Amino acid sequence: MRSRGFRRCGRVVVWLLAAAALTDALLYVADAHPLFADLQVYRLGLHHLGSGGAGLYDARAVNDAPFTSPPIAALLLAPLGALDVPAAGAVMTLLSLLALVLVACWCLRSRGRLLPVLLALALISVPVRNVLFFGQVGLLLVLLVAADLLDVTPHRMRGGLVGVAAAVKLTPLVFVPLLWFAGRRRDAVIAAGTAAVLSVVAAAVLPSASATYWTGTLWHTDRVGDVDGPRNRSLWGLIGHSGVTGAVLLALACTAVLTIAYLRANRAIRNGRNASALAIAGMASVAVSPISWSHHLVWLVPAEAALLAAPGGFGPLAVLAALTYRLPVSSAHVLAVLQGAAALLVVIMLPAGASTNERHRPAVVGMAGFEPTTSSSRTRRATKLRHIPLVRRRV
């Protein structure tokens, strides 16, 4: 009875800590100047729909930031432009928090008792706080990709939400080859097809904006920010690409990260560690993108979920949490290096193999029947052994 009481008290304390982290994050958002800066950029789309998108990529928000997303994003986010900034920010904040909770629940599956721990860790991290602070769509994109990769969406529709995410923000395209290499080729084709169809729709509705984006804006990475700037978390900012030596080194580093990420994420999917695959590929996109800001590292949510559920994951989890926390350092470049290291840590070290229990789980087959597995062929082989009084074998 006493131990049960201690456990109940512990759960209450952890939920209180999660509530405190949420309160602190919301206070951080409310203190923003200007309020929801990136969301105000998204709201530019509504005012250029009637002209076919003419001038969309020349317009500037109140913080002098330009619209940099593909044209389909202007269509999908246009309703936010019909609201004033506080109301649109409140809607985006609620949607982002809902996305955070859903992704956390999907990643933890049956380990729901860990949910408040994961939420608390996420809400004190710089990436999640800055997604809320700027009114960014990062958590919504993670939700879309997670729904497909974690098999939440119906089988016939899987891949479609990855395509939507890739159409709105190009970096989720990294998941299309992953689905293909992991044997989910139908999902990969649906993802690529969905992204293409949405881009065609945007071209039909916003022909001027589409022409401007695909022939010019997309290739001018300096519109997003300084690639060599001290705040860039990607390999482009950490390594630099000036001169032949820098360009070769950057190309080799990006190739190595993508190769490792695809090999490890593919292995994770085949071993049923889809949350790990989600985080590994997502963080790889952060590492190889020309420009990555702190809020792009929201793929740490499935990464922390995978480490919470993994035996011996406390050490790497503590390191990942420390690297993405609001460390009291005055140098923006130091923070960028630490958070860039966090992305690489996920790609290289997140658990991807079969767990110990899965590797050594025996099945008992006898007169009474057998222990079923997810493989119908293995089940059929086990069924043939019913006549044997007792067979202990791996299935």
pLDDT digits (tens, 9 = 90+) for 122-153: 999 999 999 999 999 999 999 999 999 999 99
* DSSP per-residue codes, 272-332: T-HHHHHHHHHHHHHHHSS---GGGGGGHHHHHHHHHHSTT-HHHHHHHHHHTB----S-H
* DSSP per-residue codes, 236-261: HHHH---HHHHHHHHHHHHHHHHHHH
**Token pair of 89, please?**
């920010």
pLDDT digits (tens, 9 = 90+) for 179-201: 999 999 999 999 999 999 999 99
In angstroms, rounded to a whole number, what is the distance separating the alpha carbons of residues 307 and 299? 13
**Token pair of 355, please?**
């767990």
Of the candidates 161, 172, 150, the one whose C-alpha atom is nearest the C-alpha of residue 104 is 150
Q: In Å, what is the CA distance from 264 to each residue of 118, 309, 358?
A: 23, 18, 18
Asked whether residue 50 carries a pLDDT value surpassing 60, the answer given is yes
pTM: 0.87
pLDDT digits (tens, 9 = 90+) for 340-351: 999 999 999 999
Q: What is the 3-state secondary structure (H, E, C) of 102-159?
A: HHHHHHHCCCHHHHHHHHHHHHCEHHHHHHHHHCCCHHHHHHHHHHHHCCCCCHHHCC
Query: Which is more confidently placed, 193 or 379?
Result: 193
Lowest mean pLDDT among 108-112, 132-136, 354-358, 383-387: 383-387
Instruction: Answer whether 96's CB lies under 8 Å from 139's CB.
Output: yes
Greatest mean pLDDT range, 53-62, 146-155, 369-378 = 146-155
Which pLDDT belongs to residue 6? Answer: 66
Asked whether residue 356 carries a pLDDT value surpassing 70, the answer given is no
Instruction: Answer whether 92's CB lies under 8 Å from 35's CB.
Output: no
* DSSP per-residue codes, 212-241: HHHHTGGG-GGGT--TTSTT--SHHHHH--
